[in-house]
Amino acid sequence: MSKRLTTQLIAALVANPFLLNFFRGNIYQGNLKGICVPVLNCYSCPAAVGSCPLGALQNALAAPFTRIPFYVGGFMILVGAVAGRWICGWLCPFGLIQDLLGRLSKIKKKLPYGVTRAKYLVLALLVVLPIIWVNEAGFGAPYFCQYLCPQGTLSAGLPLLASNYASLSPLIGVIFWIKLFILGIILLGSVFIYRPFCRTLCPLGAFYGLFNKISLFRLHYDKSNCKNCKRCSRICPVDLNLPQESNSAECIRCLKCRDNCPSGSLTWKTEFKSSLPKSSPENT
């Protein structure tokens, strides 16, 4: 088992430790639910210990007595500023599910570049605009969670419905079937396209991607050591033109490029740039 897969499995278990709740049909609602996890992990998932940052942000703003969730916004900015989309590649449970489904087929279709930009439209329409749309209940509504999020459908909607079918079945409506259809398309697509949801629809990934070029931890490209073999580009699962796009917003930082670079030209490290002048003989 690879180091990355091991990390993904541990991260999924840490974010979702109450596995028995899947059989009980209960949702953990203790004090830890007030703490955000950095990944897409539904609050209503029976096993979840914390809150999804997108869900927490939207629900706080849509509450009747709206409070601006500075904690959630600050948390998301901090996570992005430290690691960018490394969170997507190594910690996200829904990313793990797509990765596992991708192992079922060696056939992988490329996505047109324009399609991958759709996640920014989702971020704008379903997350950002509702924040500034004031209505009688507050600021907008949790549209992404209600109308799109496949992770919520998979980890919360379906398990809760299976455990509490008698009480919840009357609540099933058109929106549920639409979300179920979206989930099915994404899961099927994951077999033949590498991480289709992360690359085309995930607003959290879109947000973290904005920090990829400036995050504290990022890929460093040593051009002087590069042999221009393009092995990194051929092995990149998200089809980036490496090494030039090594810190692209589309990069989920799986680090396959680094691990397969024969010259060691790509490294994963902190990028501190000192403003102090370098020492010279005249200054010593």
Segment 63-76, tens digit of pLDDT:
655 566 788 999 99
Instruction: Look at residue 278 in the predicted model and tell me its pLDDT.
Output: 45
Q: What average pLDDT does this structure show over 258-272?
A: 90
User: What does the H/E/C string look like for 29-88?
Assistant: CCHHHHCECCCCCCCCCCCCCCECHHHHHHHHHHCCCCCCCHHHHHHHHHHHHHHCCHHH
Q: Say if CB 93 and CB 16 are below 8 A apart.
A: yes
**pTM of this structure:** 0.90
**Residue-range domains of the chain with CATH:** 3-209 (no CATH), 218-269 (3.30.70)
pLDDT at residue 51 above 90?
A: yes
Segment 115-132, tens digit of pLDDT:
999 999 999 998 888 766
Half-sphere exposure of 116 (CA within 13 A, CB side): 19
Instruction: Look at residue 143 in the predicted model and tell me its pLDDT.
Output: 87
Half-sphere exposure of 62 (CA within 13 A, CB side): 18
Instruction: Look at residue 271 in the predicted model and tell me its pLDDT.
Output: 72
